Amino acid sequence: MGKKNKQKRSKNQTTLADKADKFLCYQKSVQSAEHEVDFFEQAYKEAFRKKPYSLREDFCGTFSVCCEWVKSNPKRSALGIDLCSETLQWGRDNNLAELTSGQRQRVRLIEQDVRKRNRPQVDVLAAQNFSFWIFKTRCEVVEYFKAARANLKPEGIMIMDMMGGGDCLEEGQVDKRTIKKGKKGFDYHWKQISFDPITHDASFSISFKFRDGSKLKDAFRYDWRFWSIPEVREMLDEAGFTESHIYWEQEDEDGEDTDEWERSESADSVACWIAYIVAVK
Pair 267, 148 in one domain:
yes
pLDDT at 13: 83
Domain end, chosen from 224, 248, 264, is at 224
Please list the pLDDT of the chain residue by residue as tens digits (281 residues).
444 444 443 556 889 999 999 999 999 999 899 999 999 999 999 999 999 999 999 999 999 999 999 999 999 999 999 999 999 999 999 999 999 999 999 999 999 999 999 989 999 999 999 999 999 999 999 999 999 999 999 999 999 999 999 888 889 999 999 998 777 789 999 999 999 999 999 999 999 999 989 999 999 999 999 999 999 999 999 999 999 999 998 877 776 777 789 999 999 888 889 999 999 99
- Residue 15 CA: distances (Å) to CA of 170, 219, 246: 32, 15, 44
Cα separation, 236 vs 191, in Å, equals 29
Contact present, 52 and 123 (Cβ < 8 Å)? yes
Pair 192, 236 in one domain:
no
- Tell whether 4 is covered by a domain: no
Q: Is the peptide bond before 74 cis (omega within 30 degrees of 0)?
A: no
Evaluated on CA atoms 13, 16, 21, 22, the torsion sign reads negative
> SS3 for the chain, per residue?
CHHHHHHHHHHHCCCHHHHCCHHHHHHHHHCCHHHHHHHHHHHHHHHHCCCCCEEEEECCCCCHHHHHHHHHCCCCEEEEEECCHHHHHHHHHHCHHHCCHHHHCCEEEEECCCCCCCCCCEEEEEECCCHHHHCCCHHHHHHHHHHHHHCEEEEEEEEEEEEECHHHHCCCCEEEEEEECCCCCEEEEEEEEEECCCCCEEEEEEEEEECCCCEEEEEEEEEEECCCHHHHHHHHHHHCCCEEEEEEEEECCCCCEEEEEEECCCCCCCCCEEEEEEEEC
- Tell whether 11 is covered by a domain: no
Domain end, chosen from 224, 256, 271, is at 224
Cα separation, 90 vs 111, in Å, equals 13
Cα separation, 60 vs 82, in Å, equals 6
Q: Which phi and psi (to 5°) does residue 238 adopt? A: -60, -35
pLDDT at 10: 53
- Tell whether 218 is covered by a domain: yes
- Tell whether 98 is covered by a domain: yes
Pair 125, 66 in one domain:
yes
Cα separation, 62 vs 220, in Å, equals 14
Pair 210, 242 in one domain:
no
207 beta partners: 189
pLDDT at 1: 42
- Tell whether 151 is covered by a domain: yes
- Tell whether 102 is covered by a domain: yes
Pair 148, 197 in one domain:
no
Pair 209, 270 in one domain:
no
Pair 115, 184 in one domain:
no
Domain of residue 276, CATH code: 3.40.50.150
- Residue 1 CA: distances (Å) to CA of 8, 9, 132: 11, 12, 57
pLDDT at 26: 95
Pair 63, 202 in one domain:
no
Pair 134, 273 in one domain:
yes
Give residue 229's domain range: 23-164+225-280
Pair 136, 154 in one domain:
yes
- Tell whether 57 is covered by a domain: yes
Domain end, chosen from 207, 224, 241, is at 224
Please count the structural domains in the chain: 2
Pair 177, 69 in one domain:
no
Length of the chain: 281
- Tell whether 118 is covered by a domain: yes
pLDDT at 12: 63
Pair 41, 170 in one domain:
no
